[in-house]
């Protein structure tokens, strides 16, 4: 399933996704161009929510804290997607999502996401100096939107 709007980069996930506690979802990033792209796995910001049998699921709690990055973290975190490259990776499709959910009930789960990836979002801003240096080399920061309803199975 293609999650994003861009034709240059595909963000794909195999659906339905298995809903397994403490097992991250793996996404496939595919560069369809001759350009090198910068993607921050924490750079997607927007709104998202979970549904169970097409009804909105309320969080049972919220996570606290935030992730702070130094220059070395930026070099380790940011994904550099080379021309025509395809990689499997972990992404946060909405970094601002803090809800903790109870997935113990049986039924059909889905995650609804509307988010945007850009240099102006909070997490990429923490790597501004590093991103600027990469852009001077000709790399392009991904500007993209995700609008998706991802089905999950237990």
pLDDT of 144 higher than 70: yes
User: Residue 32 has what pLDDT?
Assistant: 98
Residue range 37-72, pLDDT digits in tens: 999 999 999 999 999 999 999 999 888 766 667 778
User: Do 141 and 135 touch, CB atoms closer than 8 A?
Assistant: yes
**66 vs 3: CA distance, rounded Å:** 26
Mean pLDDT is lowest, of 14-23, 25-34, 145-154, for 14-23
Indicate the CATH number for domain 9-153: 2.60.40
Distance CA 8, CA 69 (A): 28
DSSP, res 4: B
pLDDT at 62: 86
Cα dihedral 78, 82, 83, 86 sign: negative
Tens digit of each residue's pLDDT (9 = 90 or more) over 78-123: 999 999 999 999 999 998 888 889 999 989 999 999 999 998 886 7
The structural domains of the chain, with segments of one domain joined by +, span 9-153
Q: Is residue 76 pLDDT above 80, yes or no?
A: yes
The closest alpha carbon to 126, from 84, 86, 75, belongs to 75
Strand pairing partners for 79? 39
Taking residues 3-21, report their average pLDDT. Answer: 94
**What is the per-residue pLDDT for 147?**
95
Q: For residue 20, give both structure tokens.
A: 């397994």
Cβ count within 10 A of residue 94 = 22
pLDDT at position 99, please?
87
* pLDDT(124) > 80: no
pLDDT band at 26 (very low <50, low <70, confident <90, very high): very high
Can you give the three-state secondary structure of 7-59, one letter per residue?
CCEEEECCCCEECCCCCCCCEEEEECCCCCEEECCCCEEEEEEEEECCEEECC
């Amino acid at each position: 399933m293609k999650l994003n709007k861009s034709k240059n980069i595909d963000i794909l996930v195999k659906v339905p996704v298995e809903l397994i506690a403490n097992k991250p979802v793996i996404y496939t990033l595919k560069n369809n161009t001759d350009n090198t792209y910068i993607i921050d796995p924490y750079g997607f910001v927007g709104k998202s929510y979970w549904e169970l049998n097409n009804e909105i699921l309320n969080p049972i709690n919220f996570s606290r804290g935030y992730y702070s990055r130094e220059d070395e973290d930026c070099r380790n975190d940011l994904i550099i997607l080379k021309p025509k490259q395809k990689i499997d990776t972990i992404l946060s499709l909405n970094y601002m999502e803090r809800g903790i959910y109870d997935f113990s009930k049986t039924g059909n789960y889905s995650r609804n996401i509307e988010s945007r990836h850009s240099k102006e979002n909070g997490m990429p801003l923490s790597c501004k100096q590093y991103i600027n240096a990469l852009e001077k080399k000709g790399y392009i920061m991904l500007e993209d939107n995700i609008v998706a309803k991802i089905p999950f199975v237990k």
